[in-house]
Structure 1
Amino acid sequence: MTFPQFVFRNVSRNKRTYAAYFFSSAFSVLIFFVYALFIFHPDIKEGVTQALAIQLMIIAEVIMYVFSFLFVLYSVSTFLKSRKREFGILMIHGMTKSQLNAMVFLENMLIGIGAIVAGIGAGMLTGKLFLMIGARMIGIPPLPFYLSGKALLLTICAFVILFLTISFVTTFLVKTNKLIDLFQANERPKKEPKVSTFLSILSAFLLTISYILAATATLQTLFFLMLPVITMTVIGTYFFYTQLSVFITKMLQKNRMVFWKKTNLLTISSLAYRLKDNARMFFMVTIVSTVAFCAVGALASMNVMNKQIASEYPAAVTYLAMDDQPVHKQHLQQIEDELTNKNIEFTTNQVPVKFIEFASTTNAYPSKQLAVLSFSSYKKISEAAGYGGYSEKPPAAEEALAMRQATLERFKSSTYTLKQNQFQLQTTNLSKHVTTPFTIIQDDGLIVSDELFEKLSAVKTGLLTGFYTNDLKATAGIGANLTENGRAFLSKENPFAMTVSGTIYEIQINMYKMMLFVAFLIGAVFFIAAGSFLYFRLYADLEYDLRHYLTIKKVGLTDQELNIIITRQLALLFFIPVIVAIVHSSFAFMALQSLYTLSIAGEMAVVLGSFLVAQLVYFFVMRFRYLQSLRNSLII
């Protein structure tokens, strides 16, 4: 038997141990290849949305590649630690250090090349499906399958370099200590896990503070708190697994009511050792899972933001005409004709707008001018949009309502001193509803009493026209020659401002779907990788567990009791990191809620629930296979 044949048989004999690592690597190659198919597809090069899709997928490629490198490096280093006894046997039979390094190198390359072939092969088989889903989410016609030579070459070269680098690096990780150390690597009794009370308290403190800050974050503080909260959470999570979890387990051992109840003695006794031995793995699974949950959850929450468009844009089409020019009548007639041709039922509404100058203001971010609406006009717009503006009281003579131009605005009272007679106006509150989108006014706006509106001298005047319909989506594409992406801004060359809510909605929903598609694939890779960590950690300890369970069975435990012990220990192994990740993500979503006026709880529950169900399915599959392995060893 030649040396390459020996390497091949060595890998094939350990296929159960390498299975999760191989399939996770192949899945990473598959997703990388699918992204490359999008990037180099000739039919996805034009348009703003398509250009953004390409940029997002390039970013996703980089994230995938960096993560794959770290995942493969960690996996290989873990395998090497579990094979010390095997290395000892080979060396006692005459294998040299250089041959051992060559064997490890060839094994890694064999698995790597197999993963590349499997991943690209699966990508070719499923590429058409991914292209159809991606095209639908981006909002373009279905993409035909196109096998780009560049995509194929990029994937092969990238992962060949990755596996070559990892294989070369791992040869330096192979440590050939004394043969006796290699033989006894898995048989030495484990040391009593030590724990630091200070670090345990520090972990609880960091996690508690980070949770409180996340739960109480506001729109103004969110971005300032993000980095320190993430840092405290990561450090707190690491010490939670290495210190606090072991500390809690030791406290349980001192509680006789719990510790001495039925099989709890065996479960809790081994739990402290498992937590300490698997602390780094638990930490990695938790962080990777949290990133996956938050990435998918954050983009899923954007669906709520799209629901806010109806509140942000009271009229399906809003048109602000400045001065009295013939072009405005032409534009308004064109809008009416397009709505009629699309069989869209609509109503119209016109109100005057005055732009006035002020001498000074207490506003921290003053605009150059103020747009002013009368309260009757505000009421008219609110009623046309179905809001019911009549529920608000008109402001007093020297007071005004700050014109709400977005649902996320926060009110801060300001005083404006007008140039006209140095008259002072103080804002008492925000208007209850949005009447004019920010892109229409672009500056601060006030709503004043009808009497004061008549007295104000305007620098310039405008006529605000709204077209109202029950189906905002149907207006997509209206006035496409007048706007860019559904918006037109006032300028010296452009005497009008305009928004088309249907077009804006269509662009936002396509961007949301596209980002969700990209994030979902990355999240799936992260989640599968987290499962792989659990899988090969489980089978790396199988030999030790066999001896452990055989010993306790000799004490007299029944098969049913042993099944209960094993199920509990597997459940802890699988669900502790996922539950911690769900808790982390829940507080992250609480902070994210500050960006929205509508609740995102439903979307978050769906995301976290879906991941939890997937983990449950994975747990039961792995439990079945693990118990089957034990039965085959005549233990159960």
Structure 2
Amino acid sequence: MYFKIAANNVKKSFNDYAIYFLTLTFAVCIFYTFNTIGSQQEMLELSKSQAHYIKVMENAIGHISVFVSVILGGLIVYANNFLIKKRKKELGIYMILGMGKNKISKILFLETFLIGIMSLIAGLGLGIILSQGLGVITAKLFEVGISNYKFIISIKAIEKSILYFGIIFLLVMIFNTVIVSKYKLINLLNAAKKSEKLKVKKSVFSVIIFILGVVSIGVAYYLINESLLNPKDVRTFISIVLGAFGTFLFFFGLSGFIINSIQNSKKLYLKNLNIFVTRQISSKINTNFISMTVICLMLFLTISILSTGIGFNNALNQSLKESNPFDATITIHGETNPKFVLDKIGLKNTENEKCAYYTQYVVGFDYKNVLYKYTEPRIRKQFNMIECKNMDVIKISEYNKIRELKGQKPIQLNSNEVLVTSNFKVLIPAIQKLLKNENTLKINNKAYQVKNKELITDYTYNSNIPNNILTIVVSDKFTGAKESFSSYININYIGNDKQQSEKKVAQIFSKFRNYKEFKDVSFSTKEETYKQVKESTTLMIYITIYLGIIFLISSAAVLALQQLSEASDSIERYNILKKIGVSKKMINKSIFTQVLIYFSIPLILAVIHAIVGINVVNKFLELYGTNNIGTSSLIIMFVLFIIYGGYFCITYTGYKNIVK
């Protein structure tokens, strides 16, 4: 009997459960999909190291899933509380009919169980479909083939989803039992008659608080633009605190500010149902200003981490080919002689492999005095982060060997001449102006003729990012430099069988990588570098997308539930509007306006925060030559508006149905 009652209740109240069910289904779907990463290697052509990294990714996603389950648990409890609150009168009728609190708890237990089962089945079904696409995306990100494509259903991910959400639903059931045990019959029966009192703060006080919030946010924007995310700059920390506090003040004072602003425009205030809508919105913001602050910050994080994470990955991958001109590089940090390393590992110039090495020297150099006048004001802020007092120096004979290895012609230098090189994107315009306007460069108080009028921007060893802030190539007779204890050995494969050369060099590197006498020596091939970058950026993308989607649906769901709760509390007010002759069309329009504004305010402020944040991150990444995140930001915003807009539409429809 109880099961039948619970089933009928779920069926009858499906519209009320729509947001709850949608959110649960979406949450299960995302949770399952990202926890299938370990199963995807069955159909991918992965190397041993890539298979190992898939395992690392699986473990990382597993740890993130614990955090995600806590967020979703809180969201589900919040949503369930709304549903219980809406059904107080119904629960009161059960008591009048002689049903005890334990039996009512049993019905709610069964309802939660049914909703949980349905959302799990629907979520897992969608997740199984979505995870097939995730496997293809993984293959693309790792740049590997799909050797044995098959429809994968991860039993491990299903078990994990059932376990985590089973625990969450169990906690919800316990929560329902505790809540019902505290209810009194009189309160349950009168719940429908109680209309939430419209609470609006005093206008003057609210306006002052609101202005303080806006000023705090403005100061935070200024400070973060000045510090450019420099962790050593205290302004970075202050800007984060001020930004969060300013957002809190913004929503704390917003309700009174809205009332004050609209009341000052009598034409707008007295038009249609604007008086009613203004009071409704202001009251709800006044009640939920803390949750709206959290939602705004969560939306800001969602937009920011998704845009910067995906954008950074795209930019880094684009720059990899340029920053890795050699097939392999050996880096020596210490006094070890490069020739000794080559002899020890048995790597020589052959028909299939060619080697060239150089030792890096340094000289004292004042970057600011030389380049300051040629840099733009915004670049000067970024350049302050680079605490460089020395400039790298390479001898021309070794530099020419590197050029020869890349198939370039050698360059002749006189003893009084130098070449200027740099691939540090943020400084290239300034250095180019320097070369155009000045013929000499002072090093150790001696003037040297700059031979090249066009900046040389090539790489002298493999790297993940631009590695040459400013390097001067000098003649072999130059004596003003001191060793920096850094040397580089570059290797290129020139034979017909490059795969064999790659295998040979990789085996040599593997053999000597852990030798004690080579503790200051690192070995890496271009292919290894590509794989390492692909692996780390793939993990970063998955984590940002995973958290971003969870933050987004949590934020939208809370806003939706708050508005539906508002609808339940405001039924009497809408009944009064109907009695005084307000048309259905006007009521629906007022509902649309109210829901739209309520959804828009935290999103608009979050977008403004994100624009400032992404711009600062863009400038920060520009230091390393990777700042192409504009396109990804637009794509993320488009996807965000689709999901967020979907919740808005469902909320608007649900609100209208409740008012009916």
For 1:290, the equivalent position in structure 2 comes to 300
- With 213-222 and 456-465 compared, the bigger mean Cα shift is at 456-465
- C-alpha contact 1:374 1:448 (8 A) present in aligned 2: yes
- Sort the Cα spacing of 1:387 and 1:5 in 2 relative to 1 into closer, same or farther, 3 A: farther
Aligned ranges 1:117-266 → 2 under 5 Å: 117-142=121-146, 144-145=150-151, 147=153, 149-174=155-180, 175-177=182-184, 179-180=186-187, 182-184=189-191, 187-188=194-195, 190-195=197-202, 196-197=205-206, 199-218=209-228, 220-221=230-231, 228-266=238-276
Structure 1 residue 305 displacement after superposition = 2.6
For 2:459, the equivalent position in structure 1 comes to 435
For 2:118, the equivalent position in structure 1 comes to 114
- Sort the Cα spacing of 1:467 and 1:65 in 2 relative to 1 into closer, same or farther, 3 A: same
TM-score, length of structure 1 as denominator length? 0.75
For 2:573, the equivalent position in structure 1 comes to 548
Structure 1 residue 60 displacement after superposition = 2.9
2:522 aligned with 1:481: no
What is the rounded CA distance, in whole Å, between the counterparts of 1:519 and 1:427 in structure 2?
Answer: 51
3-state SS in 1 of match to 2:472: strand
2:284 aligned with 1:274: yes
AA partner of residue 640 (structure 2): F
- Sort the Cα spacing of 1:444 and 1:93 in 2 relative to 1 into closer, same or farther, 3 A: same
- C-alpha contact 1:26 1:118 (8 A) present in aligned 2: yes
- Sort the Cα spacing of 1:291 and 1:442 in 2 relative to 1 into closer, same or farther, 3 A: closer
- C-alpha contact 1:313 1:435 (8 A) present in aligned 2: yes
- Sort the Cα spacing of 1:596 and 1:548 in 2 relative to 1 into closer, same or farther, 3 A: same
- Once the two structures are superposed, residues 553-601 of structure 1 have per-residue CA deviations (whole angstroms, 9 ceiling, x without a partner) of 4545455544432322221122222222222222222332243113433
What is the rounded CA distance, in whole Å, between the counterparts of 1:511 and 1:334 in structure 2?
Answer: 35
- Once the two structures are superposed, residues 200-249 of structure 1 have per-residue CA deviations (whole angstroms, 9 ceiling, x without a partner) of 34433433333333333325347866655444444433343333343333
AA partner of residue 254 (structure 1): N
What is the rounded CA distance, in whole Å, between the counterparts of 2:594 and 2:114 in structure 1?
Answer: 34
TM-score, length of structure 2 as denominator length? 0.73
- C-alpha contact 1:176 1:182 (8 A) present in aligned 2: no
- C-alpha contact 1:382 1:433 (8 A) present in aligned 2: no
For 1:572, the equivalent position in structure 2 comes to 597
Percent identity reads: 19
What is the rounded CA distance, in whole Å, between the counterparts of 1:455 and 1:226 in structure 2?
Answer: 39
Structure 1 residue 168 displacement after superposition = 0.9
What is the rounded CA distance, in whole Å, between the counterparts of 2:469 and 2:291 in structure 1?
Answer: 53
3-state SS in 2 of match to 1:94: coil
- C-alpha contact 2:296 2:606 (8 A) present in aligned 1: yes
What is the rounded CA distance, in whole Å, between the counterparts of 2:445 and 2:489 in structure 1?
Answer: 23
- C-alpha contact 1:207 1:233 (8 A) present in aligned 2: yes
Aligned length: 595
AA partner of residue 213 (structure 1): L
AA partner of residue 619 (structure 1): F
For 2:358, the equivalent position in structure 1 comes to 353
For 1:73, the equivalent position in structure 2 comes to 77
For 2:94, the equivalent position in structure 1 comes to 90
- Sort the Cα spacing of 1:386 and 1:64 in 2 relative to 1 into closer, same or farther, 3 A: farther
Aligned ranges 1:202-601 → 2 under 5 Å: 202-218=212-228, 220-221=230-231, 228-302=238-312, 303-310=314-321, 312-313=323-324, 315=326, 322-323=338-339, 332-333=349-350, 336=353, 353-354=358-359, 372-374=393-395, 433=457, 435-437=459-461, 447-450=472-475, 452-453=477-478, 479-483=505-509, 492-493=517-518, 500-501=525-526, 503-558=528-583, 560-597=585-622, 598-601=627-630
Structure 1 residue 16 displacement after superposition = 1.1
- Sort the Cα spacing of 1:483 and 1:186 in 2 relative to 1 into closer, same or farther, 3 A: farther
What is the rounded CA distance, in whole Å, between the counterparts of 1:575 and 1:604 in structure 2?
Answer: 19
What is the rounded CA distance, in whole Å, between the counterparts of 1:513 and 1:624 in structure 2?
Answer: 39
- C-alpha contact 2:422 2:458 (8 A) present in aligned 1: yes
3-state SS in 1 of match to 2:460: coil
Q: Which runs of 5+ in 1 are unaligned?
A: 337-347, 411-422
- Once the two structures are superposed, residues 486-514 of structure 1 have per-residue CA deviations (whole angstroms, 9 ceiling, x without a partner) of x9899844998765445523542354244
AA partner of residue 435 (structure 1): Y
Structure 1 residue 179 displacement after superposition = 0.9
What is the rounded CA distance, in whole Å, between the counterparts of 1:91 and 1:454 in structure 2?
Answer: 97
What is the rounded CA distance, in whole Å, between the counterparts of 2:6 and 2:351 in structure 1?
Answer: 75
- C-alpha contact 2:258 2:278 (8 A) present in aligned 1: no
- Once the two structures are superposed, residues 303-357 of structure 1 have per-residue CA deviations (whole angstroms, 9 ceiling, x without a partner) of 2233333554455655789227668995554755xxxxxxxxxxx996x734569
3-state SS in 1 of match to 2:23: helix
For 1:611, the equivalent position in structure 2 comes to 640
Structure 1 residue 604 displacement after superposition = 2.0
Structure 1 residue 300 displacement after superposition = 1.0
Q: Which runs of 5+ in 2 are unaligned?
A: 332-336, 368-384, 429-442
- C-alpha contact 1:7 1:107 (8 A) present in aligned 2: yes
For 1:339, the equivalent position in structure 2 comes to none
